[in-house]
Structure 1
């Protein structure tokens, strides 16, 4: 059995403003990929578009993400 190791030392703590599981999931995905569209988030995270838009709106109002040319990206 092969042992898996994680070599990325850049794991960061989640912002304390993140309360919902969906918000954390979306934020972590955006941080890991340096951004994604609503359609990409829906496909990868198996979430409905309406839920993604709601989460992204909440994260955006908390200034944790921003929308640039149709792609949501983390602000930090």
Structure 2
């Protein structure tokens, strides 16, 4: 893992743990969005290899913790 990726992962871990996502898949989705800023559910599914049904639950969890915003099928990292 590169230094930048390692730093991004640590930042993600700190923030996600602080918000108590508690789910490795949620952290994975959040990390993916830190690199893309925005993605559709199809892009998340194809990029991460996660089932779409799981993504709905993960995105809802991240939304409830104000980590992402969702409009339709598009998910954006919160500021």
TM-score, structure 1 as length reference:
0.79
**Over aligned residues, Cα RMSD in angstroms?**
2.2
| Number of equivalenced pairs | 72
Equivalent position of 2:49 in the other structure = 46
Q: 1:61 aligns with which of 61, 64, 73?
A: 64
Gaps of 5+ in 1: none
Q: Which runs of 4+ in 1 moved over 4 A?
A: 5-8
Q: TM-score under structure 2 normalisation?
A: 0.77
Q: Which has the higher helix share?
A: 2
**Residues 13-66 of structure 1: per-residue CA shift (max 9 Å, x gap):** 121223110000000101110110000000010000000010000000111100
Q: Which runs of 5+ in 2 are unaligned?
A: none
